Chains A and B, each alone.
Chain A
Amino acid sequence: MPVSRPSHLALGLLCCCSALFAVSLVDAARLRQQRAGSGQEMLALVRQLQLTDLCLFTEARYTRHPSQADLHSAFQDHPLALEHFPSGSLLLPPATLSGHHERLDRETEVPD
């Protein structure tokens, strides 16, 4: 049987890729261990400075600190104003905001 059969080559390549997939899982564990130190350093800084947000989007105050932003900060200039900043399309309003209002319509016994 010739060694260089295309099926052997293709299956060999697939096996290599599968082995690399397994290696990526081992590498992930290695990197996680290696980067745990900087995670601890950041956690210490968060505790020390009482930080509330990640520094991901620095373009506007309500994207820099989404958890601390005014409730309607995305529409601060005008109620119908469109969102200015690109990160506004990544950041949706926190889910908690939509749950703030009680549904009162079902409690009304006599229709208006």
Chain B
Amino acid sequence: MNVWIEKQKYLIDFTLASLARRKAKNLGLLLVYSLIVFLLASVMLFTHALRQAANELLAGAPEIVLQRMVAGRHDLIPPGYLERIARLRGVLEKQGRLWGYYYDPVVKANYTFMVADDRLLAPGTLVVGAGLARTRGVAPGNLISFRAYSGKLFTFSIADILPAKSELVSADLVLLGEADFRAFFDIPPGHYTDITLRVANPLEVRNIASKLAQQFPDSRPILREEILRTYDSIFSWREGIVLALATLALLAFAILAWEKASGLSADERREIGILKAIGWDTGDVLRMKFWEGAMLSLSAFLLGYLAAYLHVFHFSASLLAPVLKGWAVLYPRFELSPVIDGLQVTTLFFFTVFPYAAATLVPIWRAAISDPDAVMRG
């Protein structure tokens, strides 16, 4: 066993000396390889942690949200709906929600205005999200003015700012009292944006939703499981940007491996010829090249993965933020809770380490089984 280990060590020594002869090329290869792994691992870790966060947080979302549709668009719930819903058996709680969007031309950002019933906000006061406070540069006690869609100017005082740690769900929120909301958006009493329902028996949610759809044909019930499914599909590896990035990275990787597999440089061929001429057998040459491929791909995988881990969980995925931000002015600052999926990491390992190791071995094997004289002559 010791002899075997010693032999492998000598092979590694020889491999490293051979790699050092083409230092720039091999360091460049290691860098590009690590970057590809870094990109793939960053997206993978980020989307998985975000999907997990969405699953955990939105487990607290309402069981059913009932929207009213008019001509295919979301419309206000008129008076009388809440009372009719109360007559449905199995509905434990119902509540009309008041919320809407406001475009702030000062900072060119969209806010979500929302009535917070249980916060008992005094008339003329607001509680705002930490992202909004940062973008608009406001602090508790400051005054802030918004021009309503009616053209009237409303001035509010900032009562409080929502905790910065909750930006992932509250960065753009503006919480205000019901009377202020109705006055600002000119919504008559008894009308609501939508209705949320709590159902006594969770197994009955679908039944209640179908009853709602029957009794209110102009409405659209949205179940919590649909909300969760929406977020699951947004950040699934099969969807959108994740797929685009993964495809690009894999294509780049395929080019890299192809370049390696399609042929050897004249130097490498000569080196194999000399080794065979001085007595190395095919197995030794293959083992030496195996160590070369394994060391390079393993180092690239570990370096790329570790950099991706630090980037996503210690630097808030700052390189991915511009992609997610799009044209939005207001973007939340958040730290994701690390959730590492063993299967994903293993898949990444197999997709990046093995093809490269295999791609290096095939041409070497072809060169190693041919006559040393023919190989050296090219």
Enumerate chain A interface residues (CB-CB to B < 8 A): 5-8, 10-11, 13-14, 17-18, 20-21, 24-25, 27-28, 31-32, 35-39, 41-61, 63-68, 70-72, 76, 85-87, 89-92, 94-96
Contact = CB atoms under 8 A, between A and B. Distances in A.
B324 A67 contact: no
A66 B140 CA distance: 31
B72 interface: yes
Contacts, number: 212
Task: Report which residue of A10, A58, A71 has the largest number of chain B beta carbons within 10 angstroms of its beta carbon.
Answer: A58
A46 B165 CA distance: 13
Given A51-B60, A59-B328, 15 more contacts: A17-B303, A31-B337, A48-B116, A50-B95, A57-B326, A58-B328, A61-B101, A64-B110, A65-B112, A66-B231, A67-B231, A76-B73, A89-B241, A90-B241, A96-B229
Interface stretch (B49-57, B204-212, B254-262, B266-274): B49-57
B168 interface: yes
Contact of A38 (B165, B306, B326, B327): B165
A35 B57 contact: no
Interface stretch (B21-29, B153-161, B232-240, B359-367): B232-240
A35 B20 CA distance: 44
B295 A10 contact: yes
B67 A87 contact: no
A87 B324 contact: yes
B74 interface: yes
B246 interface: no
B332 A31 contact: no
A32 B338 contact: yes
A17 B10 CA distance: 22
Interface of B: 9-10, 12-13, 16-17, 20, 50, 53-54, 56-62, 65, 67, 69, 72-74, 95, 97, 101, 109-110, 112, 114, 116, 118, 129, 131, 162-163, 165-173, 175, 194, 196, 220, 222, 226-227, 229-231, 233-234, 239-241, 295, 298-299, 302-303, 305-306, 309, 313, 323-324, 326-332, 335-340
Nearest to B118: A48
Contact of A54 (B9, B20, B54, B162): B54
B227 A52 contact: yes
Contacts of B72: 70-72
A45 B60 CA distance: 9
B302 A10 contact: no
B240 A64 contact: no
Task: Report which residue of A20, A24, A60, A89 has the largest number of chain B beta carbons within 10 angstroms of its beta carbon.
Answer: A24
Given A5-B9, A94-B233, A55 B131 contact: yes
Contacts of B169: 42, 45-46, 51, 53-55
A66 B118 CA distance: 26
B12 A11 contact: yes
A5 B324 CA distance: 47
